[in-house]
Amino acid sequence: MKFLKNRKMKPSYKNIIALAFVALAFQGCKEEDLNVFPTNDIIASQVYSTPAGYKQELVKLYASYGLTSPSGSDGSDIGGLNSGFADFLRLFWSSQELTTDEAICAWNDTGIPDLNQSLWTADNQFLRGLYSRSLLQITFCNEFLRESTDAKLGARGISGADADNVRNYRAEARFLRAYQYWVLMDAFGNPPFVTEDDNIGKTPPKQIKRAELFSYIESELKAIEPDLKDARSNEYGRADKGAAWALLARLYLNAKVYTGAEKNTEAITYASKVIGAGYELKSNYKDLFLADNDQNNKETILSINYDGEKGTNYGGTTFLINAGINADMNPASFGVPSGGWGGNRTRQNLPGLFPDPNGTQDKRGVFFGSKATVEEMSTFTDGLRVTKFKNVTSTGQTPPSLNGTFSSLDFPIFRLAEQYLIYGEAVARGGSGGDAGTALSYINKLRERAYGNTSGNLTTADLTVDFYLNERGRELYWEGFRRTDLIRYGKFTSGTYLWPFKGGTKAGTALPDYRNLFPIPSADLIANTNLTQNTGY
């Protein structure tokens, strides 16, 4: 995980992460454990006794995105979930991509065929894992916030510049919590809800309605803005004002789904804040997804950071790379010479978005294989494979990789290109404060990078609402957007837009609209009587 100086993990960094986990004494978190607290108060007073201790605990909040447990790749801090499946990005990606037209997996692990076919139940282990992982990371943030109040700082003799730094850390913790509540709101709609102000361990967490959670996330992101570092001024891998604006823009673009009311004007406002904050497109699209993407990259706003030697797990970009290739694709050329798991590939809808799936015109389309059509879910060579992610640098070097399998490629949670697309779509949907000419300039910047020249440039007449769904597919595919995008466009469940095995049939079929939300996991419904299952499940 790259977070501190030189943007590479120091030899001691894994130990710092492990100590941070141990200090809070979490022994795995099941769904009912959202409202938990360390059993030994002496541990908390020791861990948070110095400014360095607070920084260490902040490291842990970020580390929980890139690790599955303090014991490394063989451990899982999500109760009942195999360590290989417990990584946040792997769970989030599977929920956003395997359920859509962009990806399908050949494996038969319990729950994967159900995601492939949009036939999941409330017992699906991957959906339960995402739900649990998000709640666990919220729990970590709540604990940090309880221990970093002004009163606690004063009692521990932390003042002046050190106290100001901790206030910055608090804002980052609130951002990370808001992001995870966005994940839960987007996926599950009405999750359990607790903050640092709730009594600990008294009663199970209560459920919050989706529209109310939207308002909470919105208010949190606005409230923390003064205490966040200015855009592009924080350490690499840490949230700043740009990240908060980017999440607000994303939140507002989907506001009608979440609340029933359009907020396209607000989406334009916050996308514009990001665009005007000094971010720049990376000159080569492919370099965004190489192992040195932490260097000379002004496009990425916030990333999940991985280290293939000192902070490993079987999720993250290790999963994205290995699951998308097989031995016939020369894994060494992808920076994982001992890797290649042969699982994920595209359904024909995705390469169909490109004029040439081999990337000779629109170079964003990078695929491998000869058969685009998916006829069998379990046949890895049915469907073109995505070669977008590689554990090699832009100069062709392979970073150190434990066992020749693990990746040091960082994954962008937010990048400038998404904000260009949010701006344009919000304008096309009638939002105020923007204009079609500016939107066109942003889109043509993306397309000039994609084509290497102006041959793919468009006119304002091309920038319809429907155009943006396809362009988001071309620019953002396999980055964890597709389910959310299809729902916003009314195509996730609709019978008017199909993909292979949607609804459990080879040709694809409509889904009931209740599947726009995932179910609250059965285990949590049993453990917490305050929860009500989502409609349809």
Q: What is the spatial distance between Cα 64 and Cα 59, in angstroms, rounded to a whole number?
A: 9
Q: What DSSP string runs through 39-61? A: S-HHHHHHHTSSHHHHHHHHHHH
Contact present, 475 and 447 (Cβ < 8 Å): no
Helix axes 465-476 and 416-428, enclosed angle (nearest 10) = 170
Residues in the chain: 537
- 412-445: per-residue pLDDT in tens? 999 999 999 999 999 999 999 999 999 999 999 9
- 256-266: per-residue pLDDT in tens? 999 999 999 99
- 195-207: per-residue pLDDT in tens? 999 977 767 899 9
pLDDT for 1 beyond 80: no
- Over 448-497, what HEC string results? HHHHCCCCCCCCHHHCCHHHHHHHHHHHHCCCCCHHHHHHHCCCCCCCCC
- 280-291: per-residue pLDDT in tens? 999 999 999 999
Name the amino acid, one letter, at 426. Answer: A
pLDDT averaged over every residue in the chain: 92
pLDDT for 23 beyond 60: no
pLDDT for 39 beyond 50: no
Of the listed ranges 65-69, 380-384, 396-400, 441-445, the least confidently predicted one is: 65-69
pLDDT for 173 beyond 80: yes
pLDDT for 28 beyond 60: no
Q: What is the spatial distance between Cα 240 and Cα 203, in angstroms, rounded to a whole number?
A: 34
- In this structure, the number of other CB atoms found within 10 A of the CB of residue 490 comes to 13
pTM of the full structure? 0.94
Mean pLDDT of 109-135: 97
pLDDT for 223 beyond 60: yes
- 327-380: per-residue pLDDT in tens? 999 999 999 999 999 999 999 999 999 988 777 899 999 999 999 999 999 999
Mean pLDDT of 61-72: 87
Q: What is the spatial distance between Cα 257 and Cα 352, in angstroms, rounded to a whole number?
A: 27
Residues 6 or more apart whose CB falls under 8 angstroms from that of 290 comprise 390, 392, 393, 394, 409
Structural domains in the chain, sorted by start: 13-81+112-227+494-537 (1.25.40.390), 230-305+410-489 (1.25.40.10)
Question: Helix or strand or coil: residue 162?
Answer: helix
Residue 73 pLDDT level (bands cut at 50, 70, 90)? low
Contact present, 162 and 3 (Cβ < 8 Å): no
In the prediction, which pLDDT does 360 show? 80
Sign of the four-CA dihedral 488, 422, 182, 28: positive
Residue 469 pLDDT level (bands cut at 50, 70, 90)? very high
- 267-318: per-residue pLDDT in tens? 999 999 999 999 999 999 999 999 999 999 999 999 999 999 988 999 999 9
Contact present, 254 and 182 (Cβ < 8 Å): no
In the prediction, which pLDDT does 72 show? 63
DSSP letter at 412 equals E
In the prediction, which pLDDT does 44 show? 85
Listed in order, strand segments (DSSP E) in 48-153 are 104-105
Q: What is the spatial distance between Cα 29 and Cα 89, in angstroms, rounded to a whole number?
A: 17
In the prediction, which pLDDT does 30 show? 39
- 508-522: per-residue pLDDT in tens? 999 999 999 999 999
Mean pLDDT of 127-135: 97
Residue 43 pLDDT level (bands cut at 50, 70, 90)? confident
Residue 34 pLDDT level (bands cut at 50, 70, 90)? very low
**What phi, psi does 61 have (nearest 5°)?**
-60, -45
